[in-house]
Structure 1
Amino acid sequence: MSAILHLAIPAGDLSRTVKFYTDVLGCALGNGEEGRWVDVNFWGNELTLHQSKEQLPTVRHDVDMGAVLVPHFGIHLTQDDFDAVKHRIALAGLDYIDAPYRRFKGDKYEQETFFIADPNNNVLEIKCMVNPQLLFPEV
């Protein structure tokens, strides 16, 4: 059984959004249909960007660190990959929705996280956990 997640989202202007995922986040492209959709290797997961006119509406939900935008999706990265993505965001001159910060300081679930939007306003949470092996410990 495969453990690869597949997520399909509206991309707005496909070519513009593809540049965000490849140039800023550093993802590679896979299969696609020119001008219609393309698969992105989202750190081993299949993210499919669909050419669209619509954007998903977002609202803020209260959690321990404040109000986060929902819906959102994201990825858990190693510290090196996390730092590389932050560096590429800075080089691209993009603004964070919620700048990098630490959650659960001193706790076994301590993590650094930030929120950013792609060109079609799809919200992404990128995080790096201090103890990633504890995310889903075996029962």
Structure 2
Amino acid sequence: MSLQPFHLAIPVYDLAIARQFYGEVFGCAEGRSSAQWVDFNFFGHQLVIHLAPKNDSQTHAHTNEVDSHHVPVPHFGVVLAWDTWHALAERLKSRHTAFVLEPGIRFQGQVGEQATMFLLDPCGNALEFKAFKDIGQLFAK
């Protein structure tokens, strides 16, 4: 499967702390920037953090139940290779990251079984990272 990189622009109310988070916690290389925004290479995709006032979803995240867990909405993230996901989970744990949902396996033994974890960036944007042992099940019903 050959995919094109996506572009996602998200609001952050503290550009400096969000810049540090994406650069240091995830090791994202920084691209172009201004006093109002910063581009990052987010696992091969273009993530842009834009300075903006705090919004409601950053303060009071809505959740929906998925596999007996309450996942924050909205959220974004990437599907990683199985080993890359586990390495990231260990990196985040070693940094004492506060998780919304701890790294674990969802839909165990079912179609679409996946490793997943949720966390918030310092501005309250929810992120999900997931991996499939069988990437062919990404869109399985």
TM-score category (smaller protein): 0.7 to 0.9
Q: 1: CA distance between counterparts of 2:17 and 2:95? A: 13
* Alignment equivalent of 1:83, drawn from 77, 83, 86: 86
TM-score by length of 2: 0.86
| Root mean square deviation, CA, Å | 1.8
Task: Give the drift of 1:48.
Answer: 0.5
1:77-113, CA deviations, whole angstroms, 9 ceiling, x for partnerless residues? 1123212222221232221011112112123421110
Identity of aligned residues (%): 37
Q: Does 1:59 align with 2:62?
A: yes
Q: Deviating runs (4+, > 4 A) in structure 1?
A: none
| Aligned-partner Cα distance in 1 for 2:27–2:111 | 29
CA distance 1:19–1:46, change in 2 (3 Å): same
**TM-score of the two chains, using structure 1 as the length reference:** 0.87
1:61 Cα deviation from its structure 2 partner: 1.0
- Is the CA contact (8 Å cut-off) linking 1:109 and 1:130 kept in structure 2? no
- Unmatched runs of 5 consecutive residues or more in structure 2: none
Q: What pairs up with 1:32-71 in 2 under 5 angstroms?
A: 32-33=33-34, 35-57=35-57, 58-71=61-74
Q: Does 1:95 align with 2:73?
A: no
Which residue does the alignment assign to 2:120? 117
Counterpart in the other structure of 2:131: 128
Superposed displacement of residue 19, structure 1: 1.4
